[in-house]
Amino acid sequence: MRIITGLAKGHRIKAPKGLKTRPTTDRIKESLFNIIPDVSNQRVLDLFSGSGNIGIEFLSRGAEQCYFIDNNASSVKIIKENLKKTDLIKKANVYKNSVDRAIKILSKKRVVFDIIFLDPPYNKNLVKPTIEEISENNILSKEGYIIIEHESSLNLPEKISDLVNFDTRKYKDTSISFYRREEG
């Protein structure tokens, strides 16, 4: 795995060993950032972070800040190592916590994000409840959006809470879906 462009371009990053993580492929990352090319000054939340691959890519491309949330101690350790290696640690907040608990804590602290990326374990039915939790706890900015990496066999609804799907891209077994607040 490597960072594709920006401040940390070309840096290889590590993934946790022995875990069932599925780091986002370079092809999917390139496609994702073609859809949202300018992430300058955005506050990002990377849920189910794994290696931190996506959040680090956001920071490398100019995101103002990224919060990384994962409930696995090995993943959190790897994320911190990768952030130090890429010299992006000052723009990051890394927490070992469950996603639902972290969302509640961030809400209580009134932290709001422009982009929320989630890549939950496949076949665990976590996408819809996580999006509902994000909506209920109001941690997505009014103009912000949620990006979900998920198995292509998962059919997500057009609307979850007050968020609507505005794009889905399929890459063989993996898809990326985009949600934002319903206009109106």
- Tell me whether residue 12 is in a domain: no
**Domain limits for position 175:** 37-181
Q: What's the pLDDT at 91?
A: 97
- For the residues 150-170, what does the mean pLDDT come to? 93
Find the CATH number of the domain harbouring 141.
3.40.50.150
Q: Which long-range contacts (CB under 8 A, 24 or more apart) does 155-160 make?
A: 156/127, 156/128, 157/128, 160/128, 160/131, 160/132, 160/135
Which tens digits make up the pLDDT trace of 22-75?
667 778 888 888 888 799 999 999 999 999 999 999 999 999 999 999 999 999
Kindly state whether residue 70 falls inside one of the protein's structural domains.
Answer: yes
Model confidence pLDDT, tens digit, residues 1-25: 788 888 898 899 888 776 566 667 7
In a domain, 104, yes or no: yes
Give residue 50's pLDDT.
92
